[in-house]
Structure 1
Amino acid sequence: MIRVASYNIHKGIGTDRKLDPARICRALAQLDADVVTLQEADKRFGARQSVLPEKLLAEAGYEAAALHIRPGGMGWHGNAVLVRKGHQVRSARPLDLPTLEPRGAVLAEVEIDGQPLRVVGMHLDLSGLWRRRQVRCVIAHLDRCTEAMPTVLMGDLNQWSERGCLSEFTGHRHFRLLDTPKSFHSRRPVTRLDRIIASHELQCDGCGTLDDVALRAGSDHLPVWADLKLHNR
Structure 2
Amino acid sequence: MKTPSLRIATYNLQKCVGMDLRRNPRRSLEVLEETGAVLCVLQEADKRLPPRPAALPHDMVTAERWQILQFGAPGGSLGWHGNAMLLRGDVIEVVETDQIDLPGLEPRGAIRADLETAIGPLRVVGVHLGLIARSRRQQCAALRRMMERLPPRPTVVAGDFNEWGSGADLNAELAPLRLLHSPPSYPAIRPIAALDRFSISPDLTAGPVRPHLAQPARIASDHLPITVEISPRAQ
Q: 1:113: how far off?
A: 2.6
Matching of residues 74-223 of structure 1 within 5 Å: 74-86=78-90, 87-113=92-118, 115-146=120-151, 148-163=152-167, 165-169=169-173, 172=175, 174-223=176-225
Structure 2 stretches of 5 or more lacking a match?
none
Q: Is the 8 A contact 2:177 2:200 kept in 1?
A: yes
- Secondary structure of 2:184's counterpart equals coil
* Aligned partner letter, 2:136: R
Q: 1:71: how far off?
A: 3.8
Q: Is the 8 A contact 1:132 1:164 kept in 2?
A: no
RMSD value, Cα: 1.7
Aligned partner of 1:64 in structure 2 is 68
**Is 1:20 aligned to residue 24 of structure 2?**
yes
The verdict on how the C-alpha distance between 1:29 and 1:163 changes in structure 2, with shifts beyond 3 A counting, is closer
Aligned partner of 1:42 in structure 2 is 46
Q: Is the 8 A contact 2:171 2:179 kept in 1?
A: no
Structure-2 separation of matches of 1:177 and 1:61? 31
Structure-1 separation of matches of 2:65 and 2:211? 18
Q: Is the 8 A contact 1:125 1:131 kept in 2?
A: yes
- Secondary structure of 2:207's counterpart equals strand
Over residues 141-182 of structure 1, what are the superposed CA-to-partner deviations in whole Å (9 max), with x where a residue is unaligned? 001102x21100011111110146423356x1x211112211
The verdict on how the C-alpha distance between 1:3 and 1:184 changes in structure 2, with shifts beyond 3 A counting, is same
Give the TM-score, by structure 1 length: 0.92
Q: 1:36: how far off?
A: 1.3
Structure-1 separation of matches of 2:135 and 2:185? 22
Structure-2 separation of matches of 1:72 and 1:49? 5
Deviates more, 1:86-95 or 1:68-77: 68-77
- Secondary structure of 1:217's counterpart equals helix
Aligned partner of 2:231 in structure 1 is 229
Q: 1:70: how far off?
A: 5.5
* Aligned partner letter, 1:58: T
Q: Is the 8 A contact 1:54 1:63 kept in 2?
A: no
Structure-1 separation of matches of 2:57 and 2:75? 13
- Secondary structure of 1:90's counterpart equals strand
Q: Is the 8 A contact 1:132 1:168 kept in 2?
A: no
The verdict on how the C-alpha distance between 1:163 and 1:231 changes in structure 2, with shifts beyond 3 A counting, is closer
Q: Is the 8 A contact 1:131 1:165 kept in 2?
A: no
Structure 1 stretches of 5 or more lacking a match?
none
The verdict on how the C-alpha distance between 1:65 and 1:2 changes in structure 2, with shifts beyond 3 A counting, is same
